[in-house]
Amino acid sequence: MTYNAVAAATSLAMEVARRANEIEAGRRLPADLARKFADAGLFRMLLPASLDGHETIPTDVAQAIEIIAQNDASAGWCLMIGATTASMANRLEPEMAREVFGAPEVISAGVFAPMGKAVDEVDHWRVTGRWQWGSGAQNANWIAGGAMITGPDGPMLDAEGQPIHRMMIFRADEVELIDTWRTSGLCGTGSLDFAVKDVRVPKDRSVALHSDRTRVETPLAKYPVFGMLALGVTAVALGNARGALLTAGNMALQKKQQGSQRTLAERGVTQNDYARAVASLSAARAHYYECISAIWATLQSGQEATLEQRARLRLACAHATHVSADVCKVAYDMLGGSAVYLDNDLQRRFRDANVITHHIMVAAPIFELAGRVLLGQPTRDALI
């Protein structure tokens, strides 16, 4: 029977919504809810069939994350991190991929940024470092962190003179979790710091996402790795914005301003603002799914995604994420002073949306990067 990621996410949506305040207050995804995500197969969406993964098509991956994020953005974020981190399996040797990702209940987390240092010790790397933004790490069995490869004379460089770095995959018991996560938004993601000191990592338990070839010959394994991460981030933003609009629309049917007999929904200014927000979000979402599907069709035909396709996907992701933040502000402003209270989830939607826009995969510099490609300017494309 074919796995249905959208149905799996839908089956958990009501519980996520019911526990949104608990997630926010706990500053992490509860362990039992993370386990339910794992039991539902959601962390295995991007794993290959050879590892009993579901090889879920990218549009369904996005929709599954959207559904969870519509009910709580932090929960959607932790799902996104766990699912996309697992895609490292496609670049590991089969035996190591099974060691790390073979167990059906496994959960992984990781940070691509090369904040660590890895010293070459023949068959191992000796790794020391501290990483920020370790979303979902409290629930993970394996935690990965990017590290600069260091030789006797300092950082090693590639043929283009750029530092060489790889993702090092650590067992959870090798990692120190440092409780730094007190933030304005995405409070429930548990995106704390983590650190290791002189941990020995087998060389075949490391991955260069931007340069290692895939060991799995499927269209999904060949989907641009940073495009997949970006579309996951954006799925959280889109789901969060849709949740904000639904909340604001339902409240507008009941709320009346002081001295008025009309509900907000009966006021022309509300109707105008709400309709424009719905249209903006719908248009950005349609463009986003169009770009996801264009790359998928190319890969299914046996070809590689072009640089322009990859840049357009990154542009669509950044655009949709920023539109989502704008939409959350419209929903927040629409309800006036009542939206500032902590028992109104619009304040959380607004805060979460404006944290998501700062993720490196969708932050403002992506517009410049995409523009360089679309205007035919020289561009280092390894991270597109």
List the domains of the chain with CATH numbers. 5-101 (1.10.540.10), 108-207 (2.40.110.10), 225-374 (1.20.140.10)
Instruction: Pick the range with the lowest mean pLDDT from 9-23, 142-156, 168-182, 358-372.
Output: 142-156
Find the mean pLDDT for residues 304-315. Answer: 98
* Tens digits of residue pLDDT in 24-59: 999 999 999 999 999 999 999 999 999 999 999 999
Torsion of CA 66, 72, 76, 77, to 10 degrees: 130
CB count within 10 Å of CB 311 equals: 22
Query: Does the structure show a pLDDT above 90 at 308?
Result: yes
Q: Are 346 and 339 in contact (CB under 8 A)?
A: yes
What does the pLDDT average to over 96-112? 97
Report the share of the chain in percent with pLDDT over 70.
100
The whole-number pLDDT of residue 380 equals 83
pLDDT value at position 147? 98
pLDDT band of 14, cuts 50, 70, 90: very high
Q: Look at residue 63 in the predicted model and tell me its pLDDT.
A: 98
Q: Are 171 and 100 in contact (CB under 8 A)?
A: no
pLDDT at 162: 85
Residue 366 confidence (pLDDT): 97
pLDDT of residue 121: 92
72: pLDDT strictly greater than 90: yes
| pLDDT for the residue 260 | 81
The least confident of 105-114, 160-169, 215-224, 293-302 is 160-169
Residue 1 pLDDT > 80, yes or no? no
Q: How confident is the model at residue 160 (pLDDT cuts 50, 70, 90)?
A: confident
Computed over every residue of the chain, the mean pLDDT equals 96
Three-state secondary structure string covering the chain: CCCCHHHHHHHHHHHHHHCHHHHHHHCCCCHHHHHHHHHCCHHHCCCCHHHCCCCCCHHHHHHHHHHHHHHCHHHHHHHHHHHHHHHHHHHCCHHHHHHHHCCCCCCEEEEEEEEEEEEEECCEEEEEEEEEEECCHHHCCEEEEEEEEEECCEECECCCCCECEEEEEEEHHHCEEECCCCCCCCHHHCCEEEEEEEEEEEHHHEECCCCCCCCCCCCCCCCCHHHHHHHHHHHHHHHHHHHHHHHHHHHHCCCECCCCCCEHHHCHHHHHHHHHHHHHHHHHHHHHHHHHHHHHHHHHCCCCCCHHHHHHHHHHHHHHHHHHHHHHHHHHHHCHHHHHCCCCHHHHHHHHHHHHCCCCCCCCHHHHHHHHHHCCCCCCCCCC
Residue 341 has pLDDT above 80, yes or no: yes
The pLDDT of residue 259 is above 80: no
pLDDT(281) > 80: yes
Is residue 152's pLDDT more than 90? no
pLDDT band at 161 (very low <50, low <70, confident <90, very high): confident
- pLDDT given for residue 158 in this prediction: 85
Q: What CA–CA distance (Å, rounded) separates 198 from 177? A: 16
Mean pLDDT of 79-102: 98
pLDDT score at 151:
81
- Stretch 345-369: mean pLDDT: 97
Tell me the two tokens of residue 219: 């269209």
Does the pLDDT at position 313 exceed 80? yes
Whether the pLDDT of residue 258 is over 90: the answer is no
